[in-house]
Amino acid sequence: MRTRTLGNDGPQVAPIALGCAGMSDHTAAADEADAVATIHAALDAGITLIDTADFYGMGHNEDLIGRALRGGRREEAVLSVKFGGLRAPDGAFVGIEGRPAHVKNALAYSLRRLGTDHVDIYRPSRLDPGTPVEETVGAIAEMVEAGHVRHVGLSEVGAETIRRAHAVHPVHDVQIEYSLFSRGPETNGILDTCRELGIGVTAYGVLAHGLLTGGYRQPAEGDRRAGWLPRFHPDNLPVNLALVDRLRPLAEAHGVTVAQLATAWVVARGGGHGGNVVAVLGARRPHRIEEALKAADVALSDADLAAIDEAVPAGAVAGTRYAAPLMALLDSES
C-alpha cells in the first residue's frame, strides 16, 4: 500500500488509519475477540496507524490494543494516543487537563496499558483553556527527549494554536474532524497552516458520525445522537439525507458505496490539496477493513472531485458539528 508521511520527517503510514474508540465503552466483553481480530486484520493489510485515547473506555481501549500487539506486533503499529479528557465513574466527561504533570502521569499509565516503552504520536485531545499550549507541548517535548514519545501531535486546535505549539517543538500531526459534511479546516486556515509548516493531518468523523454511511435513514430506538449532534436533529436531518442521496449515483459510477466514496474524497485531499491527509475510520469487525481498503483504491479525478463538490457544496449541510456546549470546547472553531 502506498504510504504518506505525517510531517516532514514523521512516520510513514497508509492513507487509511484505524480508529479504535468504538471497540470500548459500550462494547460487550464478547466483542473483544472481534476487536483484536480487527486490529490484526488492519496490520496485515498495511494499515499501521492505530488511533486511541486513554479515556476511551477509561483505559479499556489501551488495554485491548496492548493485548492485540503482543507477540511481536508492536513494531508494526504506529500508535497515536490522545490524553486530557477527564471522566467520572459513570462515564461522563468532566473536564480537560493539559498541565505538564498530567501529561507525564497520563503517559505513564498509557505506556503500562499498551505494553510498550513509547508511543509514536502523543497529543492532547482538546486544548486546556487553563494551561498555555506551550506548557502542554513543552511537557510532551520532554517525553520525546526521554524516548517515551516519538512525535508531537495536536487535536481540534486552530491555526494560531498550531503555530504557537510548533514554535515550542515540531508538530507532526493535527487531528481534526474533516469530511464532506465538515469542511471547516479548508476555510479556517487549519489545512493551509499545516501545509505551510509541513504538518500531517489525520481526519476523523469521515462518515459524519454515520450520516455518510449511506444506510442511515432515521434514528433507531435509543439513538441519542440528535441530542448532541444537531445534524441529526429532526429539523436538519431531511436536508442532510437529501445531500447523501445526491452522492449515490456518483458512488455507483465508481462501483463503491456512499461511505467508500466519502472516504475516498478525504483521502484525495492529500498531496496538493492540503498536505498529507489520512482518513481515520472506526471499525469493530475484520470485514470493515476490507471495505476501507476499497475506499483507498478509488481514484478520483479532478472532474470527479468537482462533481462531488457540486453534489455537496461546502456550507450546504444543515446544523453545526456539535451542540453549543461542545462547540465551546473546540479551539478549532474559535
Q: Which residues does 105 contact at the CB level (< 8 Å), separation at least 6?
A: none
Whether 205 is covered by a domain: the verdict is: yes
Whether 1 is covered by a domain: the verdict is: no
Asked whether residue 1 carries a pLDDT value surpassing 90, the answer given is no
Whether 3 is covered by a domain: the verdict is: no
Q: Give me the amino acid identity at 223.
A: D
Catalogue the active-site residues: 56
| 89 burial level (CB within 10 Å; 0-12, 13-18, 19+) | exposed
Asked whether residue 280 carries a pLDDT value surpassing 70, the answer given is yes
d(CA 153, CA 146): 17
Global confidence as pTM: 0.94
Q: Find the helix or strand (DSSP H, E) in which 138 lies.
A: helix 133-146
Please report the pLDDT score of residue 223 as a whole number: 82
Segment 62-89, tens digit of pLDDT: 999 999 999 999 999 999 999 999 999 9
Segment 183-231, tens digit of pLDDT: 999 999 999 999 999 999 999 999 999 999 998 888 887 788 888 899 9
Q: What's the domain range around 272? A: 12-333
Whether 79 is covered by a domain: the verdict is: yes
- C-alpha atoms less than 13 angstroms from C-alpha of 210 in its C-beta half-sphere: 15
Question: The dihedral of CA 315, 321, 325, 330: what is its sign?
Answer: negative
Whether 7 is covered by a domain: the verdict is: no
- Asked if 96 and 86 touch (Cβ cutoff 8 Å), the reply is yes
CATH of the domain at 241: 3.20.20.100
Say how many domains are in the chain. 1
Whether 6 is covered by a domain: the verdict is: no
